[in-house]
Structure 1
Amino acid sequence: MSYRILAINPGSTSTKIALYEDEKEVLCQTLVHPMTEIQKYDKIADQFDMRKEVVLTFLRDNGYDVNELSAVVGRGGMVPSVKSGAYIVNKTMVERLRNNPVIEHASNLGALIAYEIANSIGVSAYIYDSVRSDEMIDIARISGMPDIVRTSTCHVLNSRAMAMKVASKYGKKYSDMNFVVAHLGGGVSISVHEKGKIIDVIADDEGPFSPERSGRVPCKALIELCYSGKFDKKTMFKKQHGNGGLIAYLGTNDAREVEKMIKNGDENAKLVYEAMAYQIAKGIGELSTVVNGNVDAIVITGGIAYSEMMTSWIKKRVEFIAPVEIMPGENEMEALALGVLRVLRGEEEAREYVE
């Protein structure tokens, strides 16, 4: 039996959709929403009707019949912490995301739009590997400051999907292997996967710096800077998230531009860029200790994994731990669709969402 799955991944000013027939991508399109349109809405949930109509209109205008769908999957939004894998979108989840999300975030619309389309044709809607997936072990939650509890924040959707691909390449099950996965994008997150669960992470604010994030910085110096009177709270957040890392040191958040600078003989650019690789390698080594060094493979993924310069620097430092697999790209639409395909085929079980 063949399955047709529609995947929906809302971003701040766009909605990405993909149509899969089993493992085959039939369509992948980014539908852009002008900022002038987005600014009309006070809350993200208020964009629901507009975004849903844009998706349905595009499908209809391009000859795709939603009545042929077997399921619809949306990017998991800001619900309270959940397990990884698939959840059926139900009224409880819709109520939470529409009226009381943990954080106002565009991903909240994924489940809402999926639920509406799926209900209209009598099939199920799902989320898969929500951004709020959290299966960290208790010992990993201790931060050293009782006021702060560590939580699992990483690029879970792509990280799990790429680990599963590597497991398949090795002829094994994801649930039988241990991985350390580094996702290299605008932010860098690193996760350790033990027998099918992400049990600890290094989030983008507590590890390597990246094109736009400062990552882990010395705490005492950070506190002094916060109370120096030079910067307000908003500016300090921006220095950590948005204006940190490569853009702070080199004036660009584009790794390709940095590599051009290096090839043109800029030694400072080379030092900073290699320092990013150095810190990523340190993070991989750090999480390898969580599973006592029993790592079956290290996976490097995300957009910057296309860079041979960056991945070669990282690989050189960590390949003594385990084989290194380079799996470039974001791969989010494929991860959503193939996750639900496994549910439809009975290879995975979808959970029911409860508060």
Structure 2
Amino acid sequence: MKKYKIFVINPGSTSTKLALFENMECKFSTNVFHDSSVLMKFPKINDQLMYRMMVIQLFLEQHQIDLHGVDAIVGRGGSCYALKSGVYEVDDRLLDDTRNARGGLYHVSMLGIQLAKELANIYGGRIFMVDPPIVDELCDAARITGVSGIYRKAVSHALNLKATARVHCEKYHLDYKKSNFIICHIDGGISITAHQHGQMIDGNDAGGGEGPFTPTRMGSMAVTDMLHYLYDLPKEKIQSLCYETGGLSSYFGTSDADKIHALVEKGNPKAQRVWEAMIYQINKWIGSMATVLQGHVDGILLTGGLLRFDDIIQGIKVGCEWIAPVYAYPGEFEQEAMAQGAYDVLTGKIKPVHYTGKPVWTGFEDD
């Protein structure tokens, strides 16, 4: 049987996760860190591209990793127009729309397929994208806001959410397309989503500041509070609170969950109060997704880096296990999910989805 060589690139705010697979066997996986003081010198995310490329190439050289003959390079996607779940073969239109953030999401994940393209120019191989953050499967009711002409967007950790569903279904011999789940990615960002028969029909806009507050994001607030407390702040400051300096970072001056949790363990009253409030808000959003599924929930699946703290898992079980059984999958399955997508295309199991350059949803007929 042919052995396919698949390289995976997953950019984060201050690091880039890399993994090399031979078929579905992971040969190495690492997290290449980028000095935040250096990244701050680049005015825009796209400006980081060649710097990150240089760091990745240096890493490959230092560890004597040769990508010549690679069959596929998979980059985490983002920032193009909203699309349906699937494996996309990257073409010039997808690259251009991602580079220009046509879909409105401005996030470092947009560098994933751009880095993949740069590496493919050197080493060859097909380029793929799998379940980017702007996967849109919302039901119609989930799109409506209280202001005519403004609609909710689907922005979530779709890659890991979908991958967790597949892992859970394989483990318990379930069919994702016949099941209802509430799936939560809990880390620096938090996504809480309702999955009905294989479709992610609702969830908080994790990229737009909606939902529970997180280590870096302020979460949902009343509009009147926003106007009263934040109205006079520069737009950049408000955006920073939505993405980087809100949530735990606002209270403690750091988003380092390990440091904050150490204060919780020492009995610091403020740390305990804020930490417990974060869990409280997560539970509220899980409860709201239960109503979306009309109480027909086969399981509440938890994933993400913050599950390394058992009190988060136990807090959610206490708050939500009356809805459905709670299952915890600490960490994430993103690298494996990207490799699996490419492998399924390379082996002919599936065909890649074509990116149309148009949003998967463009409005209601009577708009």
- TM (normalized to structure 1)? 0.89
Shift of 1:252: 4.1
Which of 211, 223, 226 aligns to 2:227? It is 223
CA shift in 2, pair 1:193/1:72, >3 Å: same
State the partner residue of 1:212: 216
Per the alignment, residue 268 of structure 1 pairs with: 270
Instruction: Please tell me whether the aligned partners of residues 71 and 124 of structure 2 are also in contact (alpha carbons under 8 angstroms).
Output: no
Aligned equivalent of 2:83: 82
| 2:135 is equivalent to residue 133 of structure 1 | yes
Q: For residues 8-61 of structure 1, what are the alpha-carbon distances to aligned partners after superposition, in whole Å with 9 as ceiling and x for unaligned?
A: 123344332110123322112233444576567665445545544543453355
Residue-by-residue CA offset, 1:148-193 (whole Å, 9 max, x unaligned):
3101011111111111111111112322322111111122221111
Amino acid of the structure 2 residue aligned with 1:329 = G
Alignment-derived partner of residue 309 in structure 2 = 307
User: Which position in structure 2 is the counterpart of 1:292?
Assistant: 294
Residue 178 of structure 1 is matched in structure 2 by 180
Out of 284, 291, 295, the position equivalent to 1:282 is: 284
Quote the Cα distance in structure 2 between the aligned partners of 1:332 and 1:11: 12
Contact preservation (8 Å) 1:184, 1:304: yes
- 1:83-162 equivalences under 5 Å are 83-98=84-99, 101=102, 102-118=104-120, 123-162=125-164
Count, aligned residues = 353
The 1-side partners of 2:107 and 2:268 are apart by 39
Distance 1:346 1:285, change over 3 A: farther
**Conserved? CA contact 2:283–2:319, under 8 Å:** yes
Amino acid at match of 1:219: V
RMSD: 2.6
Amino acid at match of 2:75: G
Give 5+ residue unaligned stretches, structure 2.
Answer: 358-367
Is the Cα–Cα contact under 8 Å of residues 188 and 203 in structure 1 kept in the other structure?
Answer: no
SS in 2 for 1:262: helix
Aligned-residue sequence identity (percent) comes to 38
Residues 269 and 100 (structure 1), Cα distance of their counterparts in 2 relative to 1, 3 Å cut:
closer
On the 8 A contact 1:85/1:128 being kept in 2, the answer is yes
Q: Deviations over 1:194-232 (max 9, x none)?
A: 2222111113322212222221222222222234x5x34
Deviates more, 1:73-82 or 1:247-256: 247-256
Q: Distance in 1 between matches of 2:47 and 2:257?
A: 35
2:63 aligned with 1:59, yes or no? no
Whether the 8 Å CA contact 2:144–2:152 is kept in 1: the answer is yes
Against the structure 1 CA distance between its residues 304 and 38, is the aligned structure 2 distance closer, same or farther, given a 3 Å change threshold?
Answer: closer
Indicate the larger mover: 259-268 or 277-286: 259-268
User: How far is the alpha carbon of 1:253 from its aligned partner?
Assistant: 2.6
Find the counterpart in structure 1 of residue 17 from structure 2. 16
Check whether the contact 2:78–2:133 (CA below 8 A) recurs between aligned residues: yes
